[in-house]
Structure 1
Amino acid sequence: MGLLPDLITLFWPLLVSLVLVTFFLSLLNWLLLKRHTHLNGEQKLPRQLTMLVANIVGVIAIVLTLPVSEAIQNQILALIGILLSGMVAFSSTSIMTNVMAGLVLRFNKPFRIGDFVRVNGFSGRVAEMGLLDTEIQTETRELISFANSVLVNSPLTVVRSSGAIISVELSLGYEIHHTRVEKHLLSAAAECGLEDSFVQVIALGDYSVSYRIAGLLTDVKSMLSARSKLHKAVLDSLHQAGIEIVSPAFTNTRPQEPGSVMIPLAPRKAKVASEQDNRPEAVIFDKAEEAEAVQQDRVALEEQLATLQAALKDANSEEKNLLKEQLDFTKTKLDELNNTKPKQEGVSASASTPAAD
């Protein structure tokens, strides 16, 4: 008759700990993940790490309530510690390094999806950010995957979203006064819509003077187009002013008329460039632009969701029904957006940069 009460007394702490740990983990999982279905992978990562730590703590709590001696409990805890240490020790060093580097990039946020970056001689726009690597789409439309440890340990150049300096360098002969050159170069920069443009004399060579015209481009997404447009504007501005852009050592053995200059004649009717010609970035950085657009839509929907949730608390019964419908619709759109994957094409070349051990 006394066996059952003894068993209940013996296993009661274990049963209570199992119930409490299960309830706590279920509640925490619902608070962090289940009710936030609109979160993307990056936003879920810290919550998933929190759940991992909570599960480890729960296992330790259950072990401490086992109806065994303290020595056996210590042995079980030591075994758990050995297993966890073994998992870390036998895991690839590169993987752990990249995971930690990925966390550093998420906390520091040196760049975002869609930003122009330059690392290890490669430049392009960020198309995707993962836990182990970051994908960059180059100016040749290739997709290059950089291990996160490379981005953390290497010098990284990020173009600021507020604007970037674009420039063109050229050399002209000493017979042309620099004030005349500066005037027409500034005119070319103004024609391209560059702000705060300036001209520098960067070198005095044996036979020519090297100039640099630069200006601030506020629309960084059109950087490639703006750079090409600046080159064209420099050509047109100098040629219209009668300034030849040729090497001082230029030699032409063909007979020329007296007073002839090496300036091409302007066409009678300029060819109207198509919209795609005006903005090649749409083709070159297609995946990066798509990823950036998805990210912007996601942020807008999250802000709208927060606004609706705040309005729902103070709404009356009639308004609540309408707000709930809008809330459900917004959550549905957000879920669809989170399930959207950037398009993958077989023609896109992909190179992987090995991680530094």
Structure 2
Amino acid sequence: MSLIKSALVVLVTVMLVLFIRLLWKKTLSASKRWPYQRQFLVILVVLTGVFVAIALLPLEHEVKNQILSLLGILLSAVIALSSTTLVSNAMAGLMLRITHEFRGGDFIEVDAFVGRVTNLGLFHTEIQLISRDVVSLPNLLLSQKAVKVTRRDGTFINLAVSIGYSVAHQLVEKALLEAAHRCNLADNFVFVESFLDHATRYRLYGMLDESSERLSKTSELHKAVLDVCREQGIEIASPALMDRREFDAAKQYIPKTGMKEKPQKRKAIIEELVFDKADEAQSLEELKEAQDTLSKSLDGLDPAQKKLVGKKIAKIGEELAKREEKKEGS
């Protein structure tokens, strides 16, 4: 009889885990769920089921106590051995969630890693690199290192270029500003960064409204600088140009006119190919924000408006559930 009870406990535990897995997202909307609650609940249910099942086994009382004591010692040993890193990463993950330093879809830089956030986990944060690969960084690392977060409402992209001293800085500034204008950047300015042995280093800044286009716009800006300097006869001395010319002094290091490219209907955006997973994460964050905003706006509305807003909230909730299921399935 005790063996049957233990089997029933195991069966109930499995059913509860499946219930949490399949129905948890339908019981609470995305705005009311706090991070990692399902994971904590599953662990609690499994541990409780294991101890109850052992306690109901048809064994002598001393044997069951020994088994339970052994499991307790093993569990304590695992926690003790991994507590330093495990707890530190968990606390760092909670801190990052509470402070909202960055969220899904944000463009971040930490150490040598540059990419967009795809997932904020309890123990690690996943970012998608420029190579389209995905890397998981421990949350403790992100809490200890300086993390550069690109603002969503616009960011300055920049490039450095060295121009020889024989070219007036007024001409260089005019050419660089023209290159930024061709890229449709706003609030452009040129900063004279330093005097090198062979040239003057200039840095061009331009405001990019859509931070998600950072990669493609930076490449476009470099191309525009090359084109403008070629058109205006300005030599680029980057990274270093040893000006020891043993031929005609009128000869310049300027490339010949390139072939004209055929106009394209639409330029391929690098970010669409590289950051597909990060775009999905950003879309989920925006849907959750929209759901929260609509939920807060229900107060003070008449019944007809509440019904209309309620339908929108339900529709967003369905879309969130579908996307999260797809995300977990992949």
Q: TM-score scaled by structure 2? A: 0.70
Match for residue 3 of structure 2? none
Match of 2:326 in 1: 340
Name the CA distance, whole Å, in 2 between partners of 1:237 and 1:221: 26
Measured after TM superposition, the shift of residue 268 of structure 1 is: 5.2
**Which residue identity does 2:101 align to in structure 1?**
P
Q: Please say if residues 30 and 317 of structure 2, whose CA atoms lie closer than 8 Å, have aligned partners that are also in contact.
A: no
Deviations 1:65-100 (A, max 9, x none): xxxxxxxxxxxxxx9xx99x9485465321111111
Paired letter, 1:45: P
How many equivalent residue pairs? 277
Q: Determine the C-alpha separation between the residues in 2 that align with 1:123 and 1:89.
A: 34
Aligned residue in 2 for 1:167 = 158
Match of 1:114 among 86, 105, 121: 105
Distance 1:272 1:124 in 2: 30
Mapping of residues 130-145 of structure 1, within 5 Å: 130-145=121-136
Q: Which runs of 5+ in 1 are unaligned?
A: 1-28, 56-78, 345-357
For residue 327 of structure 2, give the secondary structure of its aligned residue in structure 1.
Answer: coil
Give the structure 2 partner of residue 216 of structure 1: 207
C-alpha separation in 2, matches of 1:188 and 1:142: 32
Report the Cα distance in structure 1 between the residues aligned to 2:255 and 2:222, rounded to whole angstroms. 15
What SS does the corresponding residue of 2:87 show, helix, strand or coil? helix
Deviation at 1:261, TM superposition (A): 3.5
Q: Distance in 1 between matches of 2:143 and 2:87?
A: 14
Match of 1:242 in 2: 233
Aligned amino acid, residue 339 of structure 1? E
**Correspondences of 1:319-330 after superposition (within 5 Å):** 329-330=315-316
2:214 is the alignment partner of 1:226:
no
Q: Which has the larger radius of gyration?
A: 1
**Aligned residue in 1 for 2:289:** 299
Change in Cα spacing, 1:35 to 1:268, as seen in structure 2 (3 Å) is closer
Secondary structure of the residue aligned to 1:137 is strand
Query: What RMSD in Å do the two structures reach over aligned CA positions?
Result: 3.7
Between the two proteins, what is the percent identity of the paired residues? 32
Contact persistence 2:216–2:271 (CA under 8 A): yes
What displacement does 1:266 show?
3.2
Query: For residue 194 of structure 1, what is the aligned residue in structure 2?
Result: 185
Cα distance in 2 for partners of 1:210, 1:228 equals 19
SS of 1:92's equivalent in the other structure is helix
Say if 1:119 and 1:322 are closer, same or farther in 2 by CA, change over 3 A. Answer: closer
Q: What's the CA shift for 1:138?
A: 1.1
Q: Measure, in 2, the Cα distance between the counterparts of 1:215 and 1:325.
A: 42
Looking at structure 2, the residues matched to 208 and 324 of structure 1 have their Cα atoms a distance apart, in angstroms, of 64
198, 209, 213: which is aligned to 1:207?
198
1:337, 1:305 → 2: CA distance? 20
